[in-house]
Amino acid sequence: MPKAFINGVNIHYQQAGTGSDLVLIHGLSGSLAFWQIRIAPELSRNFRVLTYDLRGHGQSDMPPVGYRSSDMAADMVALLDCLQIQQAHLVGHSIGGVAALHMAALHPDRAASLTICDSRIRGLQPSQKLKGWPHWPLWKARLEKRGVILDDEQEMDFLLLDQLMVPIVSQGNEPVAAARSTAQWQAFLANTTAKEDLRGPAGLTDDLISRITAPAHAIYGEYSFCGPTLEGLRRLLPHLNVTVLPKAGHFFPFTQPQVFLSHLEAFLKAFNSSQGEREDRKDTSPAAE
């Protein structure tokens, strides 16, 4: 279980594969295990894949402070430095996508490409209530069948996970593992500044986002509650590639891994092909001869 001590925190990570570096960043309440069943093994056939637990998650330390997207971006850069990775493809889900976006904006030379998966960016989507989500009636009916009753006026943010945590982690998990995940999430909310940190834009403004130069890809589910963020990204990043997965919700990398992988790998393949063409043109130029 390798760990890197960076920014005063022990960060748990794993690496596998060979090739260009690719980093997978999980979302809130998750861990690197989110990627390990199907996503990371498949990608490691063509890339050297780095997965890690965000601070406060999985087997990484849980310091009392440092949960803004800018802090997560700083952790990412420090981890790359520790592992002597100069540049990597970044793929982030939910808050992991916000961290990847923030890192690519602040350190454009470190991001070979950027893939944002169903992320909500506070500067682009500061507030949204359940009743304002077009697909809320569908999910409301599904949740009520499981005995979960939510107020239509409730804000759609990470605190919603606190009410859904037991039903979510209990599905397909052993009771002990489910209890452990729930306890860690509750400790995260109770013992850190995450509640305050995660509700602010952390400096991720329209101007900063518009400076991103890395090839960028946004993958969102048809039933996503992050539609306003996607529209904001379309506006700020004219070069953005957009994929909307039919009948997919927020956790599609886990629930529809093969569909997710097909679109991600197509984007990365196209990017690598264009890179190769540029290198070929350099090699055959008069100056090179």
H/E run at residue 278 = helix 257-283
> Encoding tokens for residue 265?
């790998």
Question: How many distinct structural domains can be found in the chain?
Answer: 1
Burial label, 144 (beta-carbon count in 10 A; 0-12, 13-18, 19+): exposed
Handedness of CA 12, 257, 30, 221 (dihedral sign): positive
Q: Does residue 180 lie within any of the structural domains?
A: no
Per-residue confidence in pLDDT tens, the chain, 289 aa: 799 999 999 999 999 999 999 999 999 989 999 999 899 999 999 999 999 999 999 999 999 999 999 999 999 999 999 999 999 999 999 999 999 999 999 999 999 999 999 999 999 988 788 888 787 888 788 888 878 788 888 887 766 655 564 444 444 455 555 567 778 888 999 999 999 999 989 999 999 999 999 999 999 999 888 889 999 999 999 999 999 999 898 889 999 999 999 999 999 998 665 554 444 434 433 333 2
pLDDT at 72: 98
Q: Does residue 53 lie within any of the structural domains?
A: yes
Q: Are 13 and 52 in contact (CB under 8 A)?
A: yes
Q: Does residue 147 lie within any of the structural domains?
A: no
Q: Does residue 50 lie within any of the structural domains?
A: yes
Q: Which of 283, 250, 271 shows the shortest CA–CA distance to 28?
A: 250
pLDDT at 167: 45
Domain span at residue 59? 3-126+193-283
Q: Does residue 94 lie within any of the structural domains?
A: yes
Q: Does residue 288 lie within any of the structural domains?
A: no
**Pairing assessment for the beta strands 9-16 and 3-6 based on DSSP bridges:** antiparallel
pLDDT at 141: 86
pTM of the model: 0.87
pLDDT at 84: 98
Q: Does residue 257 lie within any of the structural domains?
A: yes
CATH of the domain at 120: 3.40.50.1820
Q: Does residue 167 lie within any of the structural domains?
A: no
Phi-psi region of 145 (alpha: psi -120 to 50; beta: other; left: phi over 0): alpha
SS3 190: helix
pLDDT at 280: 41
pLDDT at 130: 80
